[in-house]
Amino acid sequence: MAAELKPRATREAYGEALLELGKRHDNVVALDADLAGSTKSGQFAKAFPERFFNVGVAEANMMAMAAGFAIGGKVPYASTFAVFATGRAYDQVRQSIAQPRLPVRVCASHGGLTVGEDGCTHQSIEDIGLMRLLPNMKVVVPADFNQTYGAVLESYKTEGPMYIRTGRPKTPFLYPEPPATLGRGADVLREGSDISLLACGIMVVRALEAAEELKKRDISAEVVNVSIIKPIDVDTVAASLAKTGCAVTAEEHSIIGGLGDAVQEVAAEYCPVRIGRLGIKDVFGKSGTPDQLLEEFHLTTEHMVGLAEQVLASGK
Amino acid sequence: MVTEAGSGHPGGSLSSADIVTALFFHTMNHRPDEPKWPDRDRFILSKGHCAPVLYAALARSGYFPVCDLLNLRKIDCHLQGHPDMNKTRGVEISSGSLGQGLSVSVGMALAMRLDGLPGQIFTLMGDGESQEGEVWEAVMAGAHYKLSNLTAIVDANGLQIDGFTRDVMNVEPLPAKFEAFGWTAKAIDGHDMAQTVEVLDWSRSVDGPVAIIAKTVKGKGVSFMENQAGWHGKAPTVKEAEQAIMELRGEAVPGSETPAEGETVGG
Ligand SMILES: Cc1ncc(C[n+]2csc(CCOP(=O)(O)OP(=O)(O)O)c2C)c(N)n1
Ligand SMILES: [Mg+2]
């Protein structure tokens, strides 16, 4: 872990990387729906006002407009909160972006419960699932500031549509500097032999902590940061499952449709092993501080340790 | 309340405070001791982020204890960051995702008409919110079904999150837009209590749906919040809250030269 760096939110990395892309490439345009300050697209807006389009509170219009920009040869980055980017504008993302396979980057901030006090209306717990369901859509959930920064820079060259989820809270650094590429999107951050902990987003740091805790209990946990949820790196995930023989997945998302399901699908086809899914158990969120919510919805290091022990106890 | 919560939306709550006050304490027939009374008028907060003004009105009406307000947005409090009809007594619909309240209101108005219920629906929206296309789908439907039991109020404070509405995405002229869709529209000063009360009452008697475009000041009554986009969704500090409350009460603020602004109509 790059512990010496002060935690920073992944949405801030989006803002800085977008600004950098604007400097490097004239055909990058950005859109936002009255949340430029929160999603951090505002930095780009300030530097390149002629290439920034704030459509107002009109997410559906924004997504279809982004499709139009892509058809016109631009590389559009469209940002708003995850709940609105996916839920509110789902049909526009589906029909105008995903199906025609247009290079629109849907960059959604405020993923998950850690939105906090705004409550369930603003907490996106199903966005990864919604985006994963769309053919052609690449789904990326970076784990820290640097990985987000690298992912956004790399996205410029990516073909086809892409969904990038960032978060509101400050998050510890895991990568000492922005990686040049996400690669195939599954980084083994720690090797282990008894159980695999496959996590994404803010849960990766908790998976590393859980592995440390499990070590004290003589359990060797492997930690894999799965930053590309789709297309998932089948080889790395299956290899880890084969090596350890069981797993826990962890995500700030519903246990239905997200990373947990993606890993289960790999397991079912290539390496059937027991898997425990740590995630939101098919309920909506509520108001509270991010830490209180992570505790209440069982998304802490301790809960991950507990689930790992449970999975191990039930036999491989 | 918002200070205690540490987050929330004071600007749009204050701009609509006069309208909400007129509705809850003059215009609407409602029974705080019987929230589901079938004959009641309904208040729909479409711009759900302004939950603080709704919660204050509900508490002061007697739907729940006023002391609950200090637990706004806290874990395990029924007062969620955005209104939740299943958690808070007196909240008619869950809202927070902008642009949907008028559609829900159209459905409710039709259901009430089918059941022969006498209530009027008063739906409060934001001017930024009116940028959502769905709003205009609902406006079309309201006219199509000739919903005389529907009154929409737009809190036209001219601001949204990223700045002035006219700069971000112009929504004006709102009255002409509603009229073009077949509504009766009326522009008022949303801080002129006499006018607000009169027009709200009048809207019941109009054939077909009525849109009231209330010109307001975002952050109304708090000198440092007025017309500032930055106060859309930020909690005041304890000191700022103390000053705000004194100004709203019309008391002189100690240590400040300017006496607190009175309720100068048209402000
Ligand atoms: C569908 C949707 N998109 C975005 C938001 C985030 N948001 C909350 S308030 C707001 C601005 C609303 O402006 P306005 O309607 O004018 O409200 P007011 O000025 O009365 O506070 C936005 C964009 C939201 N709540 N819902
Ligand atoms: Mg407004």
Other CB atoms within a 10 A radius of the CB of residue A95 amount to 13
pLDDT band at A108 (very low <50, low <70, confident <90, very high): very high
Q: What is the pLDDT of residues B165-206, one digit of tens each?
A: 999 999 999 999 999 999 999 999 999 999 999 999 999 999
For β-strands A170-171 and A8-9, DSSP reports them as: antiparallel
pLDDT band at B265 (very low <50, low <70, confident <90, very high): very low
> Per DSSP, what are the bridge partners of residue A190?
A223
Select from B78, B125, B131 the residue whose CB has the most chain A CBs within 10 Å, as the one to mutate to test that interface.
B131
Cα–Cα distance measured from residue B96 to residue A254, given in angstroms and rounded to the nearest whole number: 20
pLDDT band at B259 (very low <50, low <70, confident <90, very high): very low
pLDDT for A249 beyond 70: yes
Inter-chain residue contact B162 with A32, CB threshold 8 Å: yes
Q: Name the H helices within A159-258.
A: 203-216, 234-244
Cα–Cα distance measured from residue B135 to residue B246, given in angstroms and rounded to the nearest whole number: 37
Domain covering A8-171 assigned CATH 3.40.50.970 in the classification: yes
Inter-chain residue contact A58 with B6, CB threshold 8 Å: no
How far is the centre of ligand 2, averaged over its atoms, from the C-alpha of B90 (Å)?
24
List of residues 6+ apart from B229 with CB closer than 8 A: B11, B159, B160, B161, B162, B163, B164, B218
Q: CA angle, corner A161, sides to A281 and A185, nearest 5?
A: 60
What percent of chain B has pLDDT above 90? Answer: 94
- Taking the CA of A38 as reference, the closest ligand is 1
> Structural domain of residue B32, as residue ranges?
2-215
Spatial CA neighbour of A136 closest among A165, A106, A100: A100
Phi first, then psi, for residue B151 (nearest 5°) are -120, 120
Query: What mean pLDDT is reported for chain B?
Result: 94
Q: Does residue B260 belong to any structural domain of this protein?
A: no
pLDDT band at B251 (very low <50, low <70, confident <90, very high): confident
pLDDT for B126 beyond 90: yes
pLDDT band at A152 (very low <50, low <70, confident <90, very high): very high
Contact call for residues A185 and A141 (beta carbons, < 8 A): no
pLDDT for A66 beyond 80: yes
pLDDT for B212 beyond 90: yes
Q: What is the pLDDT of residues A73-106, one digit of tens each?
A: 999 999 999 999 999 999 999 999 999 999 999 9
Measured in whole angstroms, the distance separating CA B42 from the mean position of its chain's CA atoms is 13
A-B Cβ pairs (cutoff 8 Å, strict): 92
List of residues 6+ apart from A80 with CB closer than 8 A: A32, A33, A35, A39, A59, A62, A108, A109
Q: Given this model, what pLDDT does residue B253 score? A: 73
Q: Given this model, what pLDDT does residue A316 score? A: 81
What percent of chain A has pLDDT above 90? Answer: 98
Q: Given this model, what pLDDT does residue A218 score? A: 98
Q: Does residue B118 belong to any structural domain of this protein?
A: yes
Q: What is the pLDDT of residues B84-95, one digit of tens each?
A: 999 999 999 999
pLDDT for A315 beyond 90: no
In CATH, what number is assigned to the domain containing residue B142? 3.40.50.970
Q: Which residues line ligand 1 (CB under 6 A)?
A: A 34-35, 57, 84, 88; B 11-12, 15, 47, 49-50, 96-99, 126-129, 155, 157, 159-161, 218, 232
Q: What is the dihedral of CA B217, B218, B221, B225, to 10 degrees?
A: -130
List of residues 6+ apart from A271 with CB closer than 8 A: A238, A241, A242
pLDDT band at B266 (very low <50, low <70, confident <90, very high): very low
Q: Given this model, what pLDDT does residue B258 score? A: 47
Domain covering A186-310 assigned CATH 3.40.50.920 in the classification: yes
Inter-chain residue contact B133 with A60, CB threshold 8 Å: yes
How far is the centre of ligand 1, averaged over its atoms, from the C-alpha of A121 (Å)?
12
How far is the centre of ligand 2, averaged over its atoms, from the C-alpha of A51 (Å)?
25
Domains held by chain B: number? 1
Length of chain A: 316
Phi first, then psi, for residue A53 (nearest 5°) are -130, 105
Q: How far is B133 from chain A (nearest CA, A)?
A: 7
Q: Given this model, what pLDDT does residue A260 score? A: 98
Cα–Cα distance measured from residue B148 to residue B157, given in angstroms and rounded to the nearest whole number: 26
- Taking the CA of B156 as reference, the closest ligand is 2
Spatial CA neighbour of A17 closest among A251, A177, A230: A177
Q: Given this model, what pLDDT does residue A1 score? A: 58
User: Which residues in chain B have Cβ-Cβ distances shorter than 8 Å to A87?
Assistant: 97
Alpha-carbon distances of A104 from A57, A155, A208, rounded to whole Å: 19, 10, 33
* A64 touches B: beta carbon within 8 Å: no
Inter-chain residue contact B96 with A296, CB threshold 8 Å: no
Domain boundaries, chain A: 8-171, 186-310
Query: What mean pLDDT is reported for chain A?
Result: 97
Cα–Cα distance measured from residue A85 to residue A165, given in angstroms and rounded to the nearest whole number: 10
Cα–Cα distance measured from residue A249 to residue A243, given in angstroms and rounded to the nearest whole number: 16
What is the secondary structure of B44-82 as a DSSP string?
A: EESSGGGHHHHHHHHHHHTSS-GGGGGGTT-TT-S--SS
User: Which residues in chain A have Cβ-Cβ distances shorter than 8 Å to B171?
Assistant: 56
Q: Given this model, what pLDDT does residue A4 score? A: 79
Q: What is the pLDDT of residues A172-226, one digit of tens each?
A: 999 999 999 999 999 999 999 999 999 999 999 999 999 999 999 999 999 999 9
Cα–Cα distance measured from residue A150 to residue A180, given in angstroms and rounded to the nearest whole number: 6
User: Which residues in chain A have Cβ-Cβ distances shorter than 8 Å to B100?
Assistant: none
Q: Name the H helices within A98-202.
A: 127-132, 145-155
Reading the block at residue A139, the tokens are 């789904």
How far is the centre of ligand 1, averaged over its atoms, from the C-alpha of B114 (Å)?
32
The residues whose Cβ lies within 5 A of ligand 2, an ion, are B 126-128, 157, 159
Reading the block at residue A173, the tokens are 């650094």
Alpha-carbon distances of A94 from A32, A62, A132, A141, rounded to whole Å: 18, 13, 11, 19
